[in-house]
């Protein structure tokens, strides 16, 4: 030890250069080190989603959730079961004991689903099994709130068509999902008596509307070095076009859809509700892509959010409600402060020790 200390004191320039080199190598290593909110480990959690459209929450629980829970209760290594039953959807989360391999738990769960599925109602879709991943934790949550001259329908359209598209183009953003708001839909209420007289059924009318409301590819056109895709434009542009749709009858004649039905533009049933500080709005849930830097991604999101707010300020108010990158930033700051304090403490201890040796 004395030889090392003596060599360091006799060659101060070399000693300083050595430690500067260590600092430079450490800085380069930190810049190349991946940054994540949570460690990349396998969580023993499984999510099971089952859909039965139109069924109320009470019936979902009785007919789907409880039979699935009973079937999952005997799984090996199972620790806890949590479930949510809502309109048309059953969501069950299985938590296994630590040490259980996620792939093994996934296999057991799929085997249990195959056994239970024949016992579920015929109209229920087959349960979908998903492994839980810490990367599913949102990086940012942005709230879109309508102003006085705007409503939830327009706010939802702006969030879905314009704001979401801009956010998805940010480098490092993996996915953007929406919650809340109101969407519009066209309802066609048939007069059953008049439709029966005309020899029409709801299924045949719905099929005819679907056949006319679609874009059909018609091949490609080659002009020089350019190749163009050709499609037939047959989607309805407004309610008037839908009302004037000619429905064929059995006697080779046609009748307009508006003759035997009531066609209106209405609000679709809300399948999600988002509230913040007693204000109803739309939530944009942003998840980062794998192997991306969440700090840089969040910085780009904040920059884009500033531009979006200035562009849509007349109709909606955009607010950053949650930013998990701040947790990473605070953790790194604490790490740097702790490192500096440790280095200063080591410096003063060595300085006092070396003075004592001298």
Mean pLDDT to the nearest integer, 61-89: 89
Averaged pLDDT, 193-220: 80
Nearest C-alpha neighbor of 288 from the set 160, 163, 171: 171
272/350 Cα distance (integer angstroms)? 62
Whose CA is closest to 166, among 301, 315, 318? 301
99: left (phi over 0), alpha (psi -120 to 50) or beta: left
Query: Using 50, 70 and 90 to split pLDDT, how confident is the model at 218?
Result: low
DSSP string, 297-350: HHHHHHHHHHHHHHHSTTTEEEEEEEETHHHHHHHHHHHHHHHHHHHHHHHHHH
What does the DSSP 8-state code read for residue 225?
Answer: T
d(CA 92, CA 95): 10
Determine the pLDDT at residue 164.
Answer: 92
pLDDT value, residue 12: 73
The set of residues, in sequence order, having a beta carbon less than 8 Å from that of 121 and lying 6+ positions away, is: 52, 63, 64
CATH superfamily membership of 45-135: Multidrug efflux transporter AcrB pore domain (3.30.70.1430)
**What is this structure's pTM?**
0.61
pLDDT digits (tens, 9 = 90+) for 278-292: 888 899 999 887 777
Strand pairing class (246-248; 78-86): unpaired
Tell me if 318 sits within 8 A of 142, measured CB to CB.
yes
Of 183, 158, 169, the C-alpha closest to 311 is 158
**pLDDT for position 9:** 65
> Would you list the DSSP string of 192-224?
HHHHHHTT--HHHHHHHHHHHSS-EEEEEEEET
pLDDT tens for each residue of 146-183:
988 778 888 899 999 899 999 999 998 888 888 888 88
304 dihedral zone (left: phi>0; alpha: psi -120 to 50; beta) = alpha
Average pLDDT taken over every residue of the chain: 82
* 59: pLDDT strictly greater than 90: no
C-beta of residue 183 within 8 angstroms of C-beta of residue 301: no
- 59 vs 332 pLDDT, higher one: 59
- Find the helix or strand (DSSP H, E) in which 235 lies: none
Letter string b/e over residues 71-107, b meaning 16 or more CB atoms within 10 A of that residue's CB = bbeebebbeebebebeebbbebebbbeeebebeebbe
Predicted confidence band at 301 (pLDDT cuts at 50, 70, 90)? Answer: very high
The token pair that represents 103 in the structure block: 């792939």
Higher model confidence: residue 203 or residue 355?
A: 203
In the chain, DSSP finds a helix count (H) and a strand count (E) of 12, 16
| pLDDT digit string, tens, across residues 18-42 | 778 877 887 777 666 666 666 666 6
pLDDT at 331 over 80: no
H-assigned helices in the chain: 2-10, 12-32, 57-60, 66-72, 102-116, 152-158, 164-168, 192-197, 202-212, 239-243, 294-311, 325-357
pLDDT at residue 138, as a whole number: 85
Contact 173, 298 (CB under 8 A): no
Spatial separation of the C-alpha atoms in residues 318 and 122, rounded to whole Å: 44
pLDDT of 15 > 80? The answer is no
Whether CATH 3.30.2090.10 fits 185-267: yes
> Does pLDDT of 256 surpass 80?
yes
CATH architecture, domain defined by 138-183+275-323: 2-Layer Sandwich (3.30)
Q: What is the pLDDT of residue 306?
A: 93
């Amino acid at each position: 030890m004395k030889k090392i200390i003596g060599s360091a004191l006799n060659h101060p320039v070399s000693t300083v250069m050595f430690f500067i080199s260590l600092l430079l190598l450490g800085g380069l290593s930190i810049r190349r080190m991946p940054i994540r909110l949570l460690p990349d480990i396998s969580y023993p959690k499984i999510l099971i989603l089952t859909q039965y459209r139109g069924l109320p929450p009470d019936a979902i629980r009785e007919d789907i959730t409880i039979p699935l829970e009973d079937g999952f209760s005997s799984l090996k290594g199972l620790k806890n079961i949590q479930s949510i039953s809502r309109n048309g959807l059953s969501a069950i989360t299985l938590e296994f004991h630590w040490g259980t391999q996620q792939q093994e738990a996934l296999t057991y769960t799929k085997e249990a689903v195959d056994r239970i599925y024949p016992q579920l109602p015929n109209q229920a879709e087959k349960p979908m099994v998903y492994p839980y991943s810490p990367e599913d934790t949102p990086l940012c949550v942005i709230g879109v709130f309508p102003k006085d001259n705007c409503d939830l329908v327009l706010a939802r359209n702006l969030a879905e068509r314009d704001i979401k598209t801009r956010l998805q183009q940010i480098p490092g953003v993996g996915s953007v999902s929406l919650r809340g708001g109101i969407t519009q839909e066209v309802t066609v209420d048939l007069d059953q008596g008049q439709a029966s007289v005309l020899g029409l059924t709801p299924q045949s009318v719905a099929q005819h509307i679907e056949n006319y409301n679609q874009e059909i590819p018609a091949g490609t056109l080659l002009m020089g070095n350019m190749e163009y895709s050709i499609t037939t434009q047959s989607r309805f542009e407004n309610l008037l076009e839908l009302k004037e749709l000619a429905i064929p009858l059995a006697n080779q004649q046609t009748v307009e859809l508006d003759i035997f039905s009531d066609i209106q533009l209405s609000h679709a049933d809300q399948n999600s509700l988002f509230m913040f500080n007693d204000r109803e709005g739309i939530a944009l849930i942003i998840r980062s892509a794998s192997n991306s830097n969440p700090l840089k991604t969040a910085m780009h999101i904040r920059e884009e959010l500033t531009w979006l707010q200035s562009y849509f300020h007349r109709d909606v108010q955009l607010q950053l409600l949650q930013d998990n990158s701040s947790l990473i930033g605070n953790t790194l700051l604490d790490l740097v402060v702790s490192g500096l304090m440790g280095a200063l403490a080591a410096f003063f201890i060595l300085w006092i020790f070396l003075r004592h040796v001298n």
